[in-house]
Structure 1
Amino acid sequence: MTGYYDIVLGLIPLAMAGITGVLSIAGFALTTAIPMASVVAVGLIGHAMFVRAPVDPVPEPAAQADAMQSDSIQSAD
């Protein structure tokens, strides 16, 4: 299953190569096309790090208390 971060990792080199190629074909100098493409790649990285940041799933405290309570009831039987 392909996740969000797998797609971002694939889009980074695709953006660098694709945008650089399109801009150089459009007449931009290579020294201009590469930095413009890198801005898009950095934007992808920034989105993955800060907008959709990877987080560990944290169980809810109420669910933990219910689980502990049901465990203690089962052990008492």
Structure 2
Amino acid sequence: MTGYYDYILGLIPLALLGITGALVVVGLNVTMAVPMAAGVAALLTGHALFINGPSKSAPSPSPVASAATAERPGPAVLDAD
């Protein structure tokens, strides 16, 4: 199943190669076409990271400690000399 980030990973090289190629065919120099295509790829990456960023799943609730374990002191520290 493809998700949003799979599409982004596919669009980054497509933007770099496709936009560069299209701009060169139109008549723009390669030295101008590559930075313009890289700007589009950077915008895609920025959108994937900051606008629609990855999020953690909701944390699962921690088990509630019983009263017997909550009142018990922690283990004693042993000095292993």
Partners of 2:46 and 2:25 in 1: CA distance: 27
Give 2:53's aligned residue. 53
**Deviation digits for residues 44-71 of structure 1 (CA, Å, limit 9, x no counterpart):** 00000000110111247xxx38xx58xx
Partners of 2:35 and 2:10 in 1: CA distance: 19
| TM-score normalized by the length of structure 1 | 0.76
Paired residue total: 65
Q: Could you tell me the percent identity over the aligned residues?
A: 52
1:1-77 pair list within 5 angstroms: 1-59=1-59, 64=61
Partners of 1:59 and 1:49 in 2: CA distance: 21
Give 1:75's aligned residue. none
Gaps of 5+ in 1: 73-77
Bigger helix fraction: 1
Structure 1 segments, 4+ long, off by >6 Å, are none
Aligned-residue CA RMSD (Å) = 1.8
Gaps of 5+ in 2: 67-81
In our comparison, the structure showing a higher alpha carbon Rg is: 2
| TM-score normalized by the length of structure 2 | 0.73
Partners of 2:8 and 2:18 in 1: CA distance: 15
